[in-house]
Amino acid sequence: MRSHTLRVLVLLALAVASFQVVFQPVRLDGWRPVGQPPQPRLRLGLDLQGGTRIVLEAERRPGVEVTADKVDAAMRVIENRIDALGVAEPLLQRQGPDRIIVEFPGLQDPQRAKELIGRTALLEFVDTDHQSLPRGAEWLPDNRRVRLPDGQVVPLPKKVVVTGADLRDARAEFDQQSLQWLVRFRFVGEGAKKFEDHTGRSIGEYLTIVLDNRVLSSPVIRARIPGEGVIEGSFTADEARDLAILLRGGALPVPVRPVEERTVGPTLGRDSIDRSLRAGWIAAVAVVLFVTAYYRLPGFLASVSLSLYALLVLGLFAALGATLTLPGIAGLILSLGIAVDGNVIIFEKLKEELRAGKTLRAAIAAGWRRGLVTILDSNVTTLVGAAVLLWLGTGPIRGFAVTLTLGVLASMFTAIVATRWLVELCADLGLAHNLARVAHLPRRPEVAA
């Protein structure tokens, strides 16, 4: 007598554990378990819940070396800026040596966030002697010439007094006198001293404030400034606030450029979830009906283990903290086909063994032994393909590969172990006749043995 109780308990435990991981009907409040309405708690990709994904690439420019350290540092700066914006749950990742992936789930209008994260935000205070520069004038990359807003290029070397690196604080303010938005900043340490020395020496000259090589304002120095000052530039409220955020967060150690952007509006995301869920349900019902109709009781048992398969895949998925995407759902549905295949292969062999005159128990043993080889060979080739996708793929392709891999693994377990346990349980429960009907044979006495 096999230990059916233990087997059933194992299967039940797996099902319950997976259900808990995916739907979390019970949550721990400290040590006290609290019940809550079960609902799927999977991390959804941006294509399903809506949001924006931006891939930034560090720009290789002569004189600027791109290293992994610098890219990591840039990532931290970007993180600070996003935090200051107050966007919910942004996700930052480095991809390869020189790319940063930024994801904003649920963000409706990424325009402002995009402008903030992509800016280098190198603030420089430039000594331009007696020369005042208009807002918008731009230093050319050689730092020796300036292109004025009217297109005229004049020679003017960039003599940097101090950069934004020593800035301690910056905040937007509304000036009651000029009725304008401005940014107030404060220097500390070495920077404060340099700033004070220079302003003390150069009263009456112009100190031009430059952001990313573009002139913001060019005020005249009226007195020695002890490390504190304001930037004026006819800002709007938003512009002043954004500039303050940029200055507080510091400059990017390497300039970055967006190379890819994908935005899915919340409408489309919601639409996709609803449609995929419906497609999934219809697929599941259709498969269960077909398998049960064709393979009778074993088919029904296979459907039970297919439900376990579905729970297991989702459970593994949630436990790994993977993100479910639209291609991922496609991978799931494809692996549903593979899971059915495992059962079909075994049932076909079972039928043959029964027709060859074996007893039910011998046929079960032989069917699974032969089926195992076939399932292994056919699934390993699928796993090889999925592994290549995992290794190479990014984004959508990876999502497909992850669910396909998990799906194939779970399907092998359910076909090889779970279905067999269920079939053997039924055999010992006296349902042998019903099981043997899979072979569409007339009842034979030895089958009941």
Partner 1 sequence: MKAWDLMGNRRWLYLLSAGIVLASVVAMAIQPALGRPVLNWGVDFTGGTLITLRFQDRTVSTGQVRAALRPLGLGEAIIQKVQETGDVSVRTRHLEPEERRRLEQALRERVGPFTVLSVDDVGPKIGRELRNIAILGVAVGLALQVVYVSLRFRSVRFALAADMALLHDLLLVLGVFALTRATVDSSFVAVLLTVVGYSINDTIVVFDRVRENLQLRTRETFPQLVNRSVLEALVRSINTGLTTLLAIGSVYLFGGPTVRDFALGLTVAVLTGGWSSVGVASPLLVDMTLWAERRAGKAVVQPAAQPARAAASRRRA
Give the residue, chosen from 381, 443, 448, 449, that forms a contact with partner 1 under the rule CB under 8 A: 381
Indicate the SS3 state at residue 124: strand
Which residues 6+ apart lie within 8 Å of 314 measured at CB?
18, 21, 22, 40, 42
- Which member of 171, 385, 417, 437 binds partner 1 (CB under 8 A)? 385
CB of 249 to partner 1, least distance (A): 19
Long-range contacts of 19-25 (CB under 8 A, 24+ apart): 19/311, 19/315, 21/314, 21/315, 21/318, 21/319, 22/311, 22/314, 22/315, 22/317, 22/318
135, 146 contact by CB (below 8 A): no
- CB distance 354 to 360 below 8 Å: yes
DSSP letter for 221, please: P
Binding test (CB under 8 A) with partner 1, winner from 153, 392, 441, 448:
392
Distance between CA 425 and CA 360 in Å, rounded? Answer: 13
Name which of residues 45 to 104 contact partner 1 (CB under 8 A). Answer: 47, 52, 55, 57
Among 268, 293, 429, 449, binds partner 1 (CB under 8 A): 268
Which residues in 103-142 contact partner 1 (CB under 8 A)?
Answer: 111, 114-115, 118
| Options 59, 166, 196, 271; binder of partner 1; rule CB under 8 A | 271
Q: Measured from the CB of residue 46, what is the shortest distance to partner 1 in angstroms?
A: 10
Indicate the pairing of strand 180-187 with strand 228-235.
Answer: antiparallel
| In the complex, least distance from residue 205 CB atom to partner 1, rounded to whole angstroms | 34
Nearest to partner 1 of 229, 371 (CB atom): 371
C-beta closer to partner 1: residue 182 or 389? 389
- The torsion angles phi and psi of 201, rounded to 5 degrees, stand at -75, -30
Say if residues 184 and 147 touch (Cβ distance below 8 Å): no
Nearest to 325 by CA among 435, 413, 399: 399
Q: Indicate the residue among 190 and 260 with the shorter CB distance to partner 1.
A: 260
* Interaction of residue 163 with partner 1, rule CB under 8 A: no
- Cα separation, 299 vs 295, in Å, equals 4
Which residue's CB is nearer to partner 1, number 217 or number 382?
A: 382
Question: How many residues interact with partner 1 (rule CB under 8 A)?
Answer: 71
Specify the residue, 244 or 408, whose C-beta has the smaller distance to partner 1: 408
Q: 3-state DSSP: the chain helix, strand, coil percent, rounded to 5?
A: 55, 20, 25
At 151, list the tokens. Answer: 């297109």
What is the dihedral sign for C-alpha 331, 406, 344, 379?
positive
Q: Which is nearer to partner 1, 42 or 283 (CB)?
A: 283
> Taking the CA atoms of the chain, what radius of gyration do you get in angstroms?
33
**What is the closest distance, in whole angstroms, from the C-beta atom of residue 115 to partner 1 in the complex?**
7
Helix (H, G, I), strand (E, B) or coil at 96: coil
- Regarding 270 and contact with partner 1 (CB under 8 A), the answer is no
Q: How far is the CB of 174 from partner 1 (least distance, A)?
A: 26
Indicate the residue among 329 and 426 with the shorter CB distance to partner 1. Answer: 329
Q: Which is nearer to partner 1, 233 or 395 (CB)?
A: 395
Q: Which is nearer to partner 1, 110 or 233 (CB)?
A: 110
Alpha carbon separation from 446 to 190, 363, 423 (Å, rounded) = 96, 12, 18
Q: Which of residues 337-376 bind partner 1 (CB under 8 A)?
A: 337-338, 340-341, 344-345, 348, 352, 370, 373-374
Give the DSSP H or E segment for 101.
strand 99-105
According to CB under 8 A, which residues from 280 to 299 bind partner 1?
Answer: 280, 282-283, 286-287, 290-291, 294
Shortest reach from residue 227's CB to partner 1, in Å? 35
Residues 205-264 that bind partner 1 (CB under 8 A): 258-264
Q: Which stretch binds partner 1 (CB under 8 A): 16-24, 75-83, 159-167, 268-276?
A: 268-276
**Segment contacting partner 1 by CB under 8 A, of 6-14, 185-193, 197-205, 377-385:** 377-385
